[in-house]
Chains A and B, each alone.
Chain A
């Protein structure tokens, strides 16, 4: 059984195709890095899977059931810039939002939920910031609050949109630790990722994307110079000892 399967997804923006013929199936318990050049549609892909953007065609199933019936299994870590951090609330409150579907209609978070949210903050090294106003947190700390919120959800399939971009070392470590924990617990994780140098360290599966999937599969099979060149065109400068570095080729 696949944790996630995307069939024939197509997305257009202003009549321009952004994604086409996207089909792939993600095994349960895998850690997938979604990589591709700028404008390849990486963020668009996860937003379409999550039904945040209208799609032209295609469907998404989670554990072989339609996405809409499996919403409770989905966790999401958006890009930090997607929300207004001046919103009047504190870190703990944001994490508690992750407990929404567990709390239920008309009810408030009880002591148990609050304790659980605090544990989640602690796991990403943010225990001391529970009551800090969110605008007073650094970028990395804000990212970790989002991680704690996803953790609090206790989902089965997690999506993360460029969690590593512009974060400090402590946050990077927290993200890696969390991904490994999730993998050990049999959870499935998909991450939009930019940095080709770390792909082999972080992910066991790779989706190479450039408007359409170039290749999907286990990292060692897919993450090859040939495939990267196909995805990035002339932008790959060299690949050494399994380490790719992108450079604009003039």
Chain B
């Protein structure tokens, strides 16, 4: 049973960490940058492996943080020099990801790191990869990593709450009144990179995008308050993880896949049932006036 429990805990941590951080991207209309960063952190992980010769958590987080910021920086620079922003994202993320894929083949059989693993993750293996100190096991490394990143993210959002909110709502005004908007932007990019790399082992580069974007997009339909939106995003992340595990258990399918699918189902439900913007409430309103 502890095996299942660790998987559920890991899933919930992925859901909360990515859900909260990603909802900020949704509000800033930057969802696609999540897609880009989730792929380019592979380069950071591979790079960190070449430097430290291990798949240890800390170098991986640093490597991913650096590459994530570089991704955001390259996208900004290309955009500033006249390339359309979606094209800039497309060019940067495919190039850096491709470089990561090429470098990964040099690692070969030394460690368990391959393209398939990086893309899909395998949450089922998480409970076995535990943190060992003096022969005592302290639970899965993924849980420690996700937990630390979650605490860091919450701390940063708490510290820079005003700055994040103003620069998201009205960046020009924010700049005039002295909000460090560039700092906030790269802070957010760092948070996304860290969340991504911490979730990597569990859900992989593709499904982590679902966990970053879908909870925020769902919460956006359900509330008109900034803080509530963060809370609902976290909640949707947790619910997706738990119900995803249930689905995977019952039908014996991929856990990460089921989690992301569950998030998608919550989003669909919100589209239909949202009390403010939902399809059904709009139909009712329209029929009342017609």
B162, B179, B223, B229 pick with most chain A CB within 10 angstroms: B162
Q: Which residues of B contact A98 (CB under 8 A)?
A: 177
Q: How far is the CB of B234 from chain A (nearest CB, A)?
A: 15
In the complex, what residues of A have CB within 8 A of residue B29's CB? Answer: 84
Q: Which of B162, B223, B225, B228 contacts A100 (CB 8 A)?
A: B162
**Contact between A78 and B173, CB atoms less than 8 A apart:** yes
State which of B40-48, B70-78, B164-172, B281-289 sits at the interface with chain A: B164-172
B165 close to A76 (CB less than 8 A): no
Indicate with 1 or 0, residue by residue over B170-190, a CB within 8 angstroms of chain A CB atoms: 101101111100000000000
Q: Is A89 in contact with B169, judged by CB distance below 8 angstroms?
A: yes
Q: Is B93 among interface residues, defined by CB-CB distance under 8 A?
A: no
**B176 & A101 in contact (Cβ 8 Å cutoff):** no
Bound CA span A178–B224, Å:
30
Q: Does A222 contact B (CB under 8 A)?
A: no
**Does B226 interact with chain A (Cβ within 8 Å)?**
yes
Once A78-B170, A100-B162 are accepted as A-B contacts, the answer to whether A89 and B176 lie under 8 Å apart by CB is no
Residues of A within 8 A of B (CB): 47, 50-52, 71-72, 74, 76, 78, 82-84, 87-90, 93-94, 97-98, 100-101, 103, 106, 108, 133, 135, 149, 153
Q: Is B27 an interface residue (CB 8 A)?
A: yes
| Interface: B220 (CB within 8 A) | yes
Cα distance, A153 to B176, chains bound together (Å): 11
In the complex, the answer to whether B169 meets A97 with C-beta atoms within 8 Å is yes
Give the chain A neighbours of B172 by CB distance below 8 A.
Answer: 47, 52, 78, 82
> A133 and B224 in contact (CB under 8 A), knowing A83-B169, A94-B169?
yes
Contact residues in B for A83 (Cβ distance below 8 Å): 169-170, 173
Do the beta carbons of B178 and A71 come within 8 Å of each other?
yes
* Chain B, interface residues (CB within 8 Å), range: 20 to 34
Chain A: CB-nearest residue to B158: A106
16 example contacts (A-B, Cβ-Cβ < 8 A) are as follows A71-B176, A74-B177, A76-B176, A83-B170, A84-B29, A87-B169, A87-B226, A88-B224, A88-B226, A88-B229, A89-B165, A89-B169, A93-B226, A97-B162, A100-B166, A103-B162
Binding site for A on B (CB under 8 A): 27, 29, 159, 161-162, 165-166, 168-170, 172-173, 175-179, 220, 223-226, 228-229
| A76 in complex: contacting residue of B159, B166, B173, B220, CB < 8 Å | B173
**Within the complex, what minimum Cβ distance (angstroms) separates A97 from chain B?**
5
Determine the distance from Cα of A106 to Cα of B165 in the docked complex, in whole angstroms: 13
Q: List, in ascending order, chain B residues with CB within 8 A of A50's CB.
A: 176
Q: How far is the CA of A76 from the CA of B178 in the complex (A)?
A: 12
Decide yes or no: A100 and B170 within 8 Å by CB, A88-B225, A89-B225 being known contacts. no
Specify which of B161, B175, B228 is in contact with A52 (CB 8 Å cutoff): B175
Q: CB-CB < 8 A to A71: which residues of B?
A: 176-178
B140 CB to nearest chain A CB (Å): 33
Are A97 and B225 within 8 A (Cβ)?
no
Cα separation A94 to B226 with both chains bound (whole Å): 12
Is B175 touching A51 in the complex (CB atoms < 8 A)? yes
3 A-B pairs closest in CB distance:
A133-B224, A87-B169, A83-B170
In Å, the complex CA distance between A74 and B172 comes to 13
Asked if A100 meets B178 with Cβ closer than 8 Å, knowing A78-B172, A87-B169, the reply is: yes
Q: Which residues of A contact B224 (CB under 8 A)?
A: 88-90, 133, 135
What is the distance, in angstroms, from B275's C-beta to the closest C-beta of chain A?
A: 13
- Bound form: Cα–Cα A149–B173 in Å: 10
CB contacts (< 8 Å) of A101 on chain B: these are 177-178
Least CB distance, B284 to chain A, in whole angstroms: 18
The smallest beta-carbon distance between B173 and chain A, in angstroms, is 6
A89, B226: Cβ atoms closer than 8 Å: yes
Q: Which residues of A contact B162 (CB under 8 A)?
A: 97, 100, 103, 108
Partner of B223, one of A52, A88, A94: A88
| B175 lies within 8 A of A82 (CB) | no
A24-B118 Cα distance, complex, nearest whole Å: 59
Report the bound CA distance from A74 to B178 in whole Å.
10
Are B170 and A97 in touch, CB under 8 angstroms?
yes
